[in-house]
Amino acid sequence: MKKIGLLLAALLLSPLALAQTTPAAPKAQAPQTWYVAPIVIDETSEAQKALTQQFMAQMIKTIKVNEYQIGKALGKTQDPKWLIRTRLMPASSDPLVGKKHPQGLTYGKGIPTQEIVGELIMDGTLVAHIGQGWREPIVPGTPVAEKLSITNYRYAIGNEAKAGDLEELAAQIGFEAGKVIARGGKPLPEKVTKKK
């Protein structure tokens, strides 16, 4: 009986038995894949056309932000899980819709003549807006989540902006979208003010 008891004890304490009884370590989260839609521009504006090619190249290049995931240009996947859309428009201190956000970031030297607004789409629904005071989806008819993540910045571009400035802007947009992706598309919970 002693031998059987020792054998059982040895089995129970074996690494295999220990591996089966200890809770499994949490698996590393699989990287999410982002897709980047071509930037929406005014086709009659030569300045926008020139900036577009540079910006899209930077957007795809810098989308791997904080190890969240790797971005890909929109290709054969027509309905990706995560999609970043951006729109280039003339810079203005007036919001298109709603309230103007107070913060302003200008990328590159010179007069801010253009600005970029962005949005993050999850499963076809708009879940995050990136840019100043703008609420209408870039593509009309896009369903909008009940609560949106709002990034309160205005991303203006100086008329002397270089590729490095656009890379910084692309990284910032990717970083903001990445934070929303890391939360599974949910907005930050609202802060509750404590009653005295």
158, part of any domain: yes
164, part of any domain: yes
- Our measurement of the distance from residue 84's CA atom to the centroid of its chain's CA atoms, rounded to an integer in Å, reads 7
Residue 145: predicted pLDDT? 92
156, part of any domain: yes
129, part of any domain: yes
Assigned token pair, 149: 């993540």
Q: Which residues contact 111 (CB under 8 A, 6 or more apart)?
A: 158, 159
Residue 123: predicted pLDDT? 94
Domain ranges, residue 70:
36-182
Residue 18: predicted pLDDT? 47
In angstroms, what is the C-alpha Rg of the chain?
24
171, part of any domain: yes
* Helix H or strand E segment including 182: helix 163-182
Tell me how many degrees the CA angle 129-134-136 measures, rounded to the nearest 5: 85
Helices vs. strands in the chain: H and E counts, helices first = 4, 8
**Tally of domains in the chain:** 1
24, part of any domain: no
- Rounded Cα–Cα distance for residues 91 and 11 (Å): 72
- Rounded Cα–Cα distance for residues 188 and 196 (Å): 24
94, part of any domain: yes
pLDDT confidence bin for 12, thresholds 50/70/90: very low
Task: Tell me the mean pLDDT in the region 113-120.
Answer: 89
- Please choose, from the candidates 183, 137, 175, the residue with its C-alpha nearest in 3D space to the C-alpha of residue 59: 175
11, part of any domain: no
Q: Residues 39-88: pLDDT tens digits?
A: 888 888 887 887 777 788 777 776 655 455 567 777 777 788 999 999 88
Whole-model pTM? Answer: 0.73
